[in-house]
Amino acid sequence: MTPTQPSRWLRRRTFMLGLGIAALVAGVLRSNETDTPPAPAPVLDSTPMRAEVRAAAVLPSRTEHARRPTAASRVPAPIIDAVTVEKREVCSGEDNLISVRAHSPDGDDTHLHATIGAGSGMRVPLRVWRMADGTYELPTVTVFGKDNIATQVRVPRYTVKDCEPERQVDIFSRRAPNTEEEFEFLARILERPRAGGAPTPFAPVRFVWTFDDRHTVTTSAPRVTHSLRPDPLRPAALYSQHLVKVEAFDASGRKVAGRSSLQLLDTTFENFAKKGIVTVLAVGSPRFPVEDAQGVVRQTFQLSHRWKRPVRLERVTALRSLVPEAEAPPLPEDTAEVSLGVDLLPVGQDVEVPVTLDTRAEASVTHVTYLLEGTTEDGHPARGTFSIMRPPPRPTRENSTPVLDPVLLAKVKRARELLGQPFVTDEDLWRLEREGRFSDLKVQREGP
């Protein structure tokens, strides 16, 4: 063998080895591409509906995903079955209820949720405005499944005419303080400005609220509080869907209506899906702690859960948080096992548990937190917590700053009269402000 032969042999061997590795990599990539099936196109539900338009949602050039399934996750993208448009044509800015029906190919629909334009929910009252040149654009429907794998389609075409409603109703909502399921809703009537003068006056005297097409409440003020507790008869899901409608009537019977959608995360479902823990819920009554003449705070907590089997409480731990002295580090919590007099939490029923905090006998305690630990009948861990707190000290001349602004002072006086309370909070003022209870106040500020 000549001296050049080993060198040629090594180069040929290296070249062949490189070709083999390249072929192997190409085969793996090809396998991954063929193993991931394309997401199916949405199927039109052609079942006729009264006074509604059922239209096939037109897909873009390919199905789009907010997050694409990987080979490791194998989470299928949801399939949009139908997008329903309530009206064939609307005025510019008039709401049009868009409803989405979808499913997951693996049969697990518990994670499905959606956005329609800027709104969230499977039913959203959509508002679309015409541009100055007469054009308008319909937004996108995005349906999310497990791990937020999503499918997108366009809202089916409908006509937005060159007209505007004389007035509209906007519904604002927020979760009530110190609660999980109570929500406050506020209706605000918006008048469309007219070039030729002021719009026809509309003074509502009655508001009819409808929740999820079932529960109806009538109020004289544009505000209502309602519980959006998930329906126990419906299967548990990551999100609960709600549609709220309000109809405002004036003294002559004229009516204007508005709608709003809410898509609420169910933390109890999320806790079990991600951690395998059944959540024990606790709702206090009264909602905020009140100290009686003897310095004792008394609250009753309603314990419940949303699991399909009863929960047995096995241990309750009370953690007393102590007030540290000035410029001293926080004191360790005082921990002790206690009994609430309850061992079993049945399915679909609330169990009342009264607790007290003697603020004079325990002057150094700011609040007591109760940690609940138990097990369901089918072996899942159950956890929950609630706290009873020392209320803030009552306002006095020594610990308070006097109100000097004449407008704010007038609002405080009006709030005390309306609520029949010796003291009012910022929350009381904000709520009455939203209800328009101060709109007739005419106070001049002093100064230049």
CATH number at residue 292: 2.60.40
13 domain residue, yes or no:
no
In the prediction, which pLDDT does 66 show?
56
Task: Please indicate, yes or no, whether residues 90 and 135 belong to a single structural domain of this protein.
Answer: yes
Residue 12 resides in a domain = no
According to DSSP, residue 146 is labeled G
297 & 342 share domain: yes
- Same domain for 285 and 260, yes or no, is no
Same domain, residue pair 295 and 348: yes
Task: Indicate whether 18 belongs to any domain.
Answer: no
Report pLDDT for 4: 42
Is residue 437 located within the same domain as residue 364?
no
Q: Is 140 helix (H, G, I), strand (E, B) or coil?
A: strand
Residues 201 and 247 occupy one common structural domain: yes
For 291, residues 6+ apart whose C-beta sits below 8 A from its C-beta are 297, 359, 390, 391
Q: Does residue 420 share a domain with residue 345?
A: no
CA 199 to centroid of chain Cα atoms = 35
Residue 150 · residue 113 · CB < 8 Å = no
Residue that finishes a domain, picked among 349, 365, 389: 389
Kind and range of the H or E run holding 426 = helix 426-434
Instruction: Find the largest Cα–Cα distance for the chain.
Output: 113
User: Residue 423 in contact with residue 394, Cβ under 8 Å?
Assistant: yes
Tell me how many domains the chain contains: 4
pLDDT given for residue 396 in this prediction: 81
Hey, what are 68's tokens?
């694409």
In the three-class reduction of DSSP (H, G, I as helix; E, B as strand; rest coil), residue 71 is classed as: coil
Show the domain range for 99.
53-161
- What does DSSP assign to residue 145? -
Q: For residue 33, is it within any domain?
A: no
Task: Write the CATH number for 65.
Answer: 2.60.40.10
Q: Are residues 190 and 257 in the same domain?
A: yes
Q: Which residues 6+ apart lie within 8 Å of 435 measured at CB?
A: 186, 221, 222, 223
Cα 178 to Cα 287: distance, rounded to the nearest angstrom:
6
Q: End of a domain among 161, 183, 200? A: 161
Q: Which residues contact 311 (CB under 8 A, 6 or more apart)?
A: 278, 280, 305, 344, 345, 374, 375, 376, 377, 382
Which amino acid is located at 236 in the chain?
A
**Per-residue pLDDT reduced to its tens digit, 302-321:** 999 999 999 999 999 999 99
Do the domain assignments include residue 15? no
Name 319's bridge partners: 335, 369
pLDDT < 70 positions in the chain: 1-73, 195-199, 324-333, 443-448
Among residues 161, 195, 211, the one where a domain terminates is 161
Distance CA 394, CA 401 (A): 13
In a domain, 317, yes or no: yes
Any idea which residue has 């007290």 for tokens? 356
From the list 317, 336, 323, 212, the residue with the least C-alpha distance to 263 is 212
CA dihedral 101→94→155→236, nearest 10 degrees, is -20
Domain identity same for 153 and 187: no
**Is the Cβ–Cβ distance between 353 and 261 less than 8 Å?**
no
Q: Are residues 105 and 139 in the same domain?
A: yes
Question: Is the same domain home to 373 and 414?
Answer: no
- What DSSP assignment string belongs to 311-370? EEEEEEEEEEEEPPPTT-PPPPPEEEEE--S--EE-TT--EEEEEEEETTTTTTEEEEEE
| Closest residue by Cα to residue 56 from 85, 19, 95, 27 | 85
Query: Domain for residue 143, yes or no?
Result: yes
CA 7 to mean position of chain CA atoms: 71
Same domain, 331 and 422: no
Angle, helices 426-434 vs 406-419, to 10°: value is: 90
Question: How far is it, in rounded angstroms, from Cα 92 to Cα 56?
Answer: 23
User: Is 85 domain-assigned?
Assistant: yes
Angle of CA points 268, 351, 271, to nearest 5°? 10
